[in-house]
Structure 1
Amino acid sequence: MPHASKAVHILAFPNVQLLDVAGPLQVFASANVQAVKRGQPAPYAPKVVAAQPDCVMSSAGLGLHTFALPDEPSDTLIIAGGWGVHTALQDEQLLQWVRTQAASARRLASVCTGAFMLAHAGLLDGHRVVTHWDSCEELAQQFPNVQVDSDPIFINEDALWTSAGVTAGIDLALALVEADLGRNIALAVAQDLVVFLKRPGGQSQFSTVLSMQQATRNNDSRFADLHAWILDNLTNELSVATLAAQVGMSERSFVRHYRAQTGNTPARAIEQLRVEAARRLLGDSALPIKRIADHCGFGTEETLRRSFMRAVSVTPQAYRERFSAQR
């Protein structure tokens, strides 16, 4: 990056989500500290801006000091989220300011439901984006020309970055810092913020078990209990007969009801749970990959590799190299 500090504008509004603003703001502030420690000029000039300058009240009840919407171009424009965004996007002058800034900004980003403002400004059509998991369906319904992916922590398409909810804004900001200043400073910022594992965008914004619970219709406790039991017995032989016996159903009835309730097959669900268990061990332990394959019920390292490629699109070794907290 050139040595001049780059203008990072984080847009806030009444009832903004506090961490959507404070998380990215602190990342850029900490990046300045790390750069100065290395004898470099501060790379960023971060500001929280709003249509209501001086003070914006967050949904947490904490007021934020804000600057007026600047006329100067944004190098990076970040739209924060929160339930107040749906009122803010009714301000046509604000939307026009976003469009104008986006046209000249080096990159454009949203945190959480800030994606709705970008969508209403016409800036997301034809793009793959993410928002908070609880708002993905609403965003997709309102904007059919936007490809909404509910899973990733964040998504980057050229100059456009979108992230999932709340703390995912920190992950997004760390990725922006890494793109600008390199991995070493980004990791130093993560350590400074006591973010033990800097998560690239491919990480899921919710766990497999939570996803299964969300997908289970009618809150069928039998299958929720079954998923917990599977997690405790990953190394066992988990045939349809075994699973059906665990919930007290015939095999045919179990397969039919499980598919109807979860939208998944038992075999696919087991693979997903085993992959998630392996992901945790790859990130948090120094166990050899062969041991992890055994521990999670894959049997062989090759079976683990194939399942990982299907679920995560990288090999277990590549996943460990990028995500491990042991380095």
Structure 2
Amino acid sequence: MHRHIGFLVYPGFVLLDLSGPLEAFSNVRHYSTGGYRLSVVSMTGGEVRSACGLSVITEVLRAEAFDTLLVVGAPEPPEGAWVMELATAIRRLVGDTRRTASVCTGAFLLAASGLLDGRTATTHWYYAAQLQARYPAVRVDGDRMWSEDQGIWTSAGMSAGIDMSLAMIEQDLGKQVALAVARMLVVYYRRPGGQYQFSSLLDCDPGSDRIRSTLSFAREHLRDKLSVERLAEVANLSVRQFGRAFASSTGMTPARAVERLRVEAARPQIEGGRQTFEEIARLNGFIDAGRMCQSFLRVIGRTPQELRRGAREVDALPLPARLEPAPRAPYRKAGR
């Protein structure tokens, strides 16, 4: 059985929001006979231009049953009269659709359709507050990589769409197939939905040279005692000024930011399984392994023990055999 997935695009969509999930689902064919039938659809059909200028050819969105409908995102939250037209079309389709999903700002279209009312959803960290303000009935969690609530899936921006797609593949076909696809795509398999969107801290541009240099200092000195006073000294601000400036630039307190930096640095070491938890805690500035465990629970909702155990289970999984394509008929010139 091939599950039919419709990828819904519109003018100005983000190409990676489409191509990332599309490649993930497409690569399933190498490892499972129960794969997917993939269609890129739009309201009008035909050529649809992406934000980067590359166009894709689409089919007309029809009132047909998809197994999964995935709405891609755009560089900015969709606005205009066409939004409600598209949201209404989405609403009509979901009655016969097993799964509905969005990548990045595609969540604004799901919210406009009313599908996210009363549900937990995520989007790109930069637009989470705007989604919450525009649609107060939605429980927006802007920290999550992806979220699933009663068959409605939403993900953060860009590469997070691949993480969500891998989770769907695992749900449909099992962990072994999802792992094989992740390895084929050369992406990190173990980013769970509850993991923070670290880009909101590690890759952000705070807009302030002082805060930027403070974050760089913290990353390079995780083993040290990084008190607010010490960080304020690096920023050359008073403690009070620094606290306000840091929260304004990053959306969190300095203590929370340092904790997240330490968790992010420690996680690969934990999953690698070569060092004790006490050693890892010491290397990354935690007081002890117990405090490190508490930080992991706060930041990603999982203990170091769970992460290490999960990593070992994944590494021990045998990959499914790559399916060989059917032999092609020999090429013949016309008229022979």
- TM tier relative to shorter chain: 0.7 to 0.9
Question: For residues 287 and 118 of structure 1, do their structure 2 counterparts lie closer, same or farther at Cα, with a shift above 3 Å needed?
Answer: same
Q: Does 1:47 align with 2:53?
A: no
- Distance of 1:89 and 1:28 partners within structure 2: 32
Q: Secondary structure at 2:18's aligned position in 1?
A: helix
Q: How does 1:111-122 map to 2 (within 5 A)?
A: 111-122=103-114
Question: For residues 50 and 267 of structure 1, do their structure 2 counterparts lie closer, same or farther at Cα, with a shift above 3 Å needed?
Answer: closer
Q: Does 1:191 align with 2:205?
A: no
CA RMSD of aligned residues (A): 2.6
Partner of residue 2, structure 2 = 5
For the Cα contact (< 8 Å) 2:235–2:242, is it kept in 1?
no
Per-residue CA deviation, residues 29-76 of structure 1 (Å, 9 max, x unaligned), is 1112210xxxxx343111111112132121222221211113321111
For the Cα contact (< 8 Å) 1:13–1:85, is it kept in 2?
no
Deviation at 1:197, TM superposition (A): 3.6
202-211 or 294-303: which moved more?
A: 202-211
Flag structure 1 segments of 5+ consecutive residues without an equivalent.
36-40
Q: How does 1:60-139 map to 2 (within 5 A)?
A: 60-83=52-75, 86=78, 90=82, 92-139=84-131
For the Cα contact (< 8 Å) 2:145–2:160, is it kept in 1?
yes
Which letter does structure 2 place at the counterpart of 1:259? Answer: G
- Distance of 1:98 and 1:65 partners within structure 2: 20
Partner of residue 283, structure 2 = 295
Q: Secondary structure at 1:78's aligned position in 2?
A: strand
For the Cα contact (< 8 Å) 1:130–1:151, is it kept in 2?
yes
For the Cα contact (< 8 Å) 1:136–1:150, is it kept in 2?
yes
Question: For residues 67 and 116 of structure 1, do their structure 2 counterparts lie closer, same or farther at Cα, with a shift above 3 Å needed?
Answer: same
Question: For residues 59 and 299 of structure 1, do their structure 2 counterparts lie closer, same or farther at Cα, with a shift above 3 Å needed?
Answer: same
Question: For residues 77 and 23 of structure 1, do their structure 2 counterparts lie closer, same or farther at Cα, with a shift above 3 Å needed?
Answer: same
Q: Secondary structure at 1:308's aligned position in 2?
A: helix
Q: How does 1:117-266 map to 2 (within 5 A)?
A: 117-207=109-199, 209-210=201-202, 214=206, 219-239=207-227, 242-243=230-231, 245-247=233-235, 253-254=238-239, 256-263=240-247, 265-266=253-254
Deviation at 1:223, TM superposition (A): 3.7
For the Cα contact (< 8 Å) 1:284–1:325, is it kept in 2?
no
For the Cα contact (< 8 Å) 2:108–2:131, is it kept in 1?
yes
For the Cα contact (< 8 Å) 2:28–2:181, is it kept in 1?
yes
Per-residue CA deviation, residues 222-265 of structure 1 (Å, 9 max, x unaligned), is 3432332232222223445544554556xxx42x2222222355
Partner of residue 321, structure 2 = none
Q: Does 1:281 align with 2:281?
A: no
Q: Does 1:33 align with 2:30?
A: yes
- 1:317 is matched with which residue: 301, 305, 309? 305
- Distance of 1:221 and 1:84 partners within structure 2: 26
Deviation at 1:80, TM superposition (A): 0.9
Deviation at 1:89, TM superposition (A): 6.4
- Distance of 1:89 and 1:316 partners within structure 2: 48
Deviation at 1:220, TM superposition (A): 4.2
Which letter does structure 2 place at the counterpart of 1:225? Answer: S
Deviation at 1:284, TM superposition (A): 5.6
Question: For residues 28 and 271 of structure 1, do their structure 2 counterparts lie closer, same or farther at Cα, with a shift above 3 Å needed?
Answer: closer
Question: For residues 243 and 64 of structure 1, do their structure 2 counterparts lie closer, same or farther at Cα, with a shift above 3 Å needed?
Answer: closer
Partner of residue 38, structure 1 = none
Which letter does structure 2 place at the counterpart of 1:10? Answer: F
For the Cα contact (< 8 Å) 2:273–2:308, is it kept in 1?
no
Q: Secondary structure at 2:23's aligned position in 1?
A: helix
59-68 or 285-294: which moved more?
A: 285-294
Per-residue CA deviation, residues 184-230 of structure 1 (Å, 9 max, x unaligned), is 0000011111114442112222347438864xxxx443343233223
Flag structure 2 segments of 5+ consecutive residues without an equivalent.
316-336
- Distance of 1:89 and 1:163 partners within structure 2: 25
Deviation at 1:124, TM superposition (A): 1.0
Question: For residues 222 and 97 of structure 1, do their structure 2 counterparts lie closer, same or farther at Cα, with a shift above 3 Å needed?
Answer: closer
Q: Secondary structure at 1:86's aligned position in 2?
A: coil
- Distance of 2:54 and 2:75 partners within structure 1: 15
Question: For residues 84 and 267 of structure 1, do their structure 2 counterparts lie closer, same or farther at Cα, with a shift above 3 Å needed?
Answer: closer
Question: For residues 326 and 147 of structure 1, do their structure 2 counterparts lie closer, same or farther at Cα, with a shift above 3 Å needed?
Answer: closer
Q: Secondary structure at 2:82's aligned position in 1?
A: coil
- Distance of 1:301 and 1:228 partners within structure 2: 25
